Amino acid sequence: MKMLKSAVASLAALGVAGSAMAQDSVLVGHLVDFTGPTSFVGSHYGPGVKDAVDYINSQGGIGGTKIKLETVDYAYKVPEAVRLYSQWKSRGMVALQGWGTGDTEALISFVARDKIPVWSASYSAHLTDPTGKNPKTKKPAPFNFFYGPSYSDACRALVQWAKSDADAKGVAKPIFVHTGDNHPYPNAPKAACAEYAKELGFTVATPVVVPLAPGDFKAQCLTIKESGAQYVFVGNLGGSVVSLLKSCRTVGVEATYMGNPWAGDYLTIMAAEAKGFVFPSSTPFYEQDAPGMALVRKIAEAGQGMGDKKPTHHYIRGICAAYYMKEAMEWAKANGGLTGAKIRDGMYAKKDWVPKGLEGVCLPSTWTTTDHRGLMKVAINRGTFADGKVKIERIAETELPRRDDWLGR
């Protein structure tokens, strides 16, 4: 009996030791697109996440536990993302830093079953209803988070601004049109934004399909021109946006172009030689001042991700995503351990939450057990290229209501 007790005690001690050893590091998968169709912005956001995690580890990690971040370029291929998820899960992954809408939505049921929280760079509103409270929600997403307004809410804010702009110009019945590829990412806000545009008094024209890859889009631009739309929502990003703006300028489209959260940055505006491209943001730009920009610059200078390139605000959003995960992990470690479920619970621990050191960079955000719309404030900017320089100015800011019928849509 004494020998049995001794053996049990030894096994228990080994279990404790094993648990402690496991907490020396935790595995976090990191999906990035550096070579696929969204690499124009993926090559900024992905390094933002990685540089931030490297910096967090250099400062001691999560109370001594290092984040083992495995960054893999899946080139925006959904099956590859699902394969990598399964592989990481089998190796004990506790959290995932994700990327695209197609793959993030494809993984909703998997991460809910496996209790693995995801911070995605997809801002699809379909990820914001954790319980299925809204009967129109496609699928409850209890383990999905992102920093920033959803694609739908960003589009709603743009339409709200467009209505005030149309009123100021004396346009009685403005026309709105959605453009973008027939793909989960540009399609995510299409129906919801059109509904709100109609609610505000817009005539909504038939959406125009524009490929995500760059090309000659004169045919699409002629369709936009024939619709009479004064306000064009741009659902794509990078080279596709550049091609659209240039093609539409060639055929003489006179309209205001409004981009989704990934469509606007100084690189796109410069490449397209844009004149008044309107787009949303949820952080300052790299050259702007805010208390937390000191930490952003430390992370960028210590990191390897951007080389000698000036980071865009997409890079900064990646930092915010990493730091919300960091603080959720810190809460989890202090409240039961670094498990996926506890890390998820850590996302509910604070209200109007700004990660320490990033004041004025990551805007106050709140996630609850029934609502994963972390941020409802949308800043609206206008970017113009002139005299060889890009000028970006803030033209509006709005706080959207948390309408129940908008949850998950």
Is the same domain home to 72 and 124? yes
Is 9 inside a domain boundary? no
Whether residue 14 has pLDDT greater than 90: no
Residue 274: Cβ within 10 Å count: 25
Give the CATH number of the domain where residue 251 resides. 3.40.50.2300
Is the same domain home to 175 and 309? no
Is 368 inside a domain boundary? no
User: Tens of pLDDT along 34-79?
Assistant: 999 999 999 999 999 999 999 999 999 999 999 999 999 999 999 9
Is the same domain home to 273 and 310? no
Is the same domain home to 164 and 246? yes
Average pLDDT for residues 81-97, to the nearest whole number? 98
Provide the pairing of β-strand 275-281 with 377-386. Answer: antiparallel
Which of 266, 261, 204, 270 has the alpha carbon at shortest distance from 235? Answer: 261
Is 330 inside a domain boundary? yes
- Helix, strand, coil shares of the chain, percent, nearest 5, are 45, 20, 40
Beta bridge partners of 368: 371
Whether residue 395 has pLDDT greater than 50: yes
* Residue 407 CA, distance from chain mean position: 17
> E strands, 229-314, where?
231-234, 256-259, 275-281
Is the same domain home to 134 and 161? no
pTM score: 0.93
Provide the pLDDT for residue 34. 97
Take residue 206 and report the two structure tokens written for it.
Answer: 């038939």
- The percent of residues in the chain predicted with pLDDT above 70, rounded, is 95
Is the same domain home to 28 and 92? yes
Mean pLDDT, the chain, rounded, equals 94
Q: How many domains is the chain built from?
A: 2
Is 240 inside a domain boundary? yes
Is the same domain home to 64 and 138? yes
Range(s) of the domain holding residue 243: 151-283+377-406
N-term to C-term CA, the chain:
63
Is the same domain home to 267 and 292? no
pLDDT band at 309, cuts 50/70/90? confident
Whole-angstrom Cα distance, residue 279 to residue 385? 14
Is the same domain home to 166 and 207? yes
Provide the pLDDT for residue 386. 95
Provide the pLDDT for residue 23. 73
User: Tens of pLDDT along 340-350?
Assistant: 999 999 999 99
Is the same domain home to 185 and 143? no
DSSP assignment, residue 406? G
Is the same domain home to 133 and 159? no
Whole-angstrom Cα distance, residue 85 to residue 90? 9
Whether residue 15 has pLDDT greater than 70: no
Take residue 110 and report the two structure tokens written for it.
Answer: 């998997």
Whether residue 144 has pLDDT greater than 70: yes
pLDDT band at 2, cuts 50/70/90? very low
Is the same domain home to 183 and 262? yes
Provide the pLDDT for residue 308. 78
Take residue 168 and report the two structure tokens written for it.
Answer: 């100021």
Which of 381, 401, 340 has the alpha carbon at shortest distance from 115? Answer: 340
Looking at residue 260, its amino acid is N
Helix (H) or strand (E) holding 379: strand 377-386
